[in-house]
Amino acid sequence: MAGVVLQVVLVGLGSPLLVGVMRQVRARLEGRAGAGIWQPWRDLRKLMRRQPITPAGTGWMFRAAPLLLPGTALVVASVVPLVTTASPLDGVADLFAVTALLTLGSVALALAGLDTGTAFGGMGASREVTVLALVEPTILLSVFALSVPAGSTNLGDIVTAAAEHPLSLISPVSLLAAVALVIVSIAETGRIPVDNPATHLELTMIHEAMTLEYAGLDLALIEWASAMRLSLLLGLLAGLFAPWGIATAGAGPLALLVAAVVIALKVTVLGGLLAASEVFMAKLRLFRIPELLAGSFLMALLAVAASYFLA
């Protein structure tokens, strides 16, 4: 229980810092000084104090999305094995459930984008859902491939099995699934080359276009949730492919603390790598993105096929 609370707090407070680190890495590589890793928190602190706006003609879906998005992220944060594999919500700690919950959050935001009835909102929702419709199957497939060796989709079981048999991590199943998961995590969190989080041009937007109408506290919630989703997906990757240092059931407070430090390090490194690789890439043209995602889908399918052959 203590481990899960620690984990949720870590994700809730740490994920804006992760975004800050990633921006800082990027800034340094571009020769800039950067705003510092605390800048996302400064932005959130300011946004929380600003007035939220309800655009005329929007309804309950528009209001619900800023609550649902962080809500789903928090549920996921409480079950993903970041600090500990022993979640009291064991019935939720299922890879399919986690994927579906993250999708639910995206769906809420896409519906909110449609609810505004603006051209950009609809455009963002349409693009987001297109990407989502190709990302979700890939995640499900990679997850499936990883679950076949463990014989279960329970996150704790998978991570424990992987930690006990580290050699299974360099099997083709694991490697293919890892590549596929990395690509779709990038797509899901709206990073380059799928989406550019720093763009100002509406026509190139995916994620941003849906949030154009949000202001103040609503916007703060959405940005916070986006940061949490990013760190959760990176944390999930770290947990699945480098499952060491995660506390198991019955671990003492010290072990939990160590586990928290370890996961923070792992996610920071992953985030830094992601940010650094973004410097070397340009955003893909929108209709090239499905090709990228189809490639990752194929890799996930190969992973599943391999898992059957090796089973």
Partner 1 sequence: MILVGVWYVAALSACALAALAAVLGPARGRPALVGTITVGAGALAAVAGVAAMGGGGWQAWLPEVLPLAGVRLAIDPLSGVFIAVTGAVTSCAALYGVGYAKDGHGPAGRVTQAAVPLFVASMLLVPAAASVSTLLLTWELMAITSLLLVLAEHRRRAAVGEAALWYAVMTHLGLVAILSGLFAFAASAGGESFAQLRAAELSPAMRSAVFVATFVGFASKAGIVPLHVWLPRAHPEAPSHVSALMSAAMVNLGCYGILRVGLDLLGGGPAWWWLLVLAAGAVSALYGILHAVVAADLKRLLAYSTTENMGLVLIGLGAAGFFATAGFDALAGVALTAALLHVVNHAAFKTVLFLAAGSVLRATGTRDLDALGGLRTRMPYTTGLFAVGALCASALPPGNAFISEWLLLQSLIQSGSVSGLAGVVLMPLAVAVIALSAGLAVATFVKAFGVGFLARPRSPAAGAARESPPAMVGGMALAAGCCLALALAPVLIVPALTRPVLAVVAGTGVSARDLILAGGAGAISPTLIAAALVLAVGAVLALTRAVMVRRSRRVARLWDCGAGPMSARMEYTATSFAEPLQRVFDDVLAPENDVDVTPARESAYLVRRVAFHARVPDRIERRLYDPLLAVADDVGIRARRLANGSVHRYLAFGFCVLTGALVVLAVIE
Partner 2 sequence: MSLLRKIRKTGRVAEPAPERTLEDLPAAAQLRGSVQIRHVDAGSCNGCEVEIASAFGPVYDGERYGARLVASPRHADALLVTGPVTRNMASALRRTFEAVPEPRLVVALGDCARDCGVFAGAYGVAGAVRDVVPVDLEVPGCPPEPQVIIEALRRMTGR
What's the start-to-end Cα distance of the chain, in Å? Answer: 35
Q: Which of 278, 282, 281 is nearest to 22 (CA)?
A: 278
Q: Which residues pair with 247 in a beta bridge?
A: 84
Out of 49, 165, 285, 288, which residue is the one contacting partner 2 (CB under 8 A)?
49
Is-contact 238 181, C-beta < 8 A?
no
Q: Is residue 207 a contact residue for partner 1 (CB under 8 A)?
A: no
Coil, helix or strand at residue 247: strand
Q: Is residue 43 a contact residue for partner 2 (CB under 8 A)?
A: yes
Out of 23, 26, 127, 266, which residue is the one contacting partner 1 (CB under 8 A)?
127
Stretch that binds partner 2, among 8-16, 58-66, 188-196, 203-211 (CB under 8 A): 203-211
Q: Is residue 119 a contact residue for partner 2 (CB under 8 A)?
A: no
The encoded tokens of residue 30 equal 């571009």
How many angstroms separate the CA atoms of 98 and 110, rounded?
19
Out of 141, 205, 251, 299, which residue is the one contacting partner 1 (CB under 8 A)?
141
Which option in partner 2, partner 1, none does residue 214 bind, with CB closer than 5 to 8 A by kind?
Answer: partner 2
Residues 216 to 245: which contact partner 2 by CB under 8 A? 216, 219
Which option in partner 1, partner 2, none does residue 72 bind, with CB closer than 5 to 8 A by kind?
Answer: partner 1
Residue type, 37: I
The nearer residue to partner 1, 137 or 272, going by C-beta atoms, is 137
> Which phi and psi (to 5°) does residue 168 adopt?
-65, -20
Omega before residue 149 within 30° of 0, cis: no
Is-contact 234 263, C-beta < 8 A?
no
CB neighbours of residue 282 within 10 Å: 9
The nearer residue to partner 2, 81 or 197, going by C-beta atoms, is 197
Least separation, in Å, of the C-beta of 148 and partner 2? 38
Out of 5, 9, 45, 59, which residue is the one contacting partner 2 (CB under 8 A)?
45
The nearer residue to partner 2, 280 or 287, going by C-beta atoms, is 280
Q: Is residue 30 a contact residue for partner 2 (CB under 8 A)?
A: yes
Least separation, in Å, of the C-beta of 135 and partner 1? 7
User: Residue 228 burial by CB count (10 A; 0-12/13-18/19+): exposed, middle or buried?
Assistant: buried
How many angstroms separate the CA atoms of 131 and 39, rounded?
29
Out of 34, 35, 126, 276, which residue is the one contacting partner 1 (CB under 8 A)?
126
Residues 89 to 118: which contact partner 1 by CB under 8 A? 89-92, 94, 96-97, 100-101, 103-104, 107, 110-111, 114-118
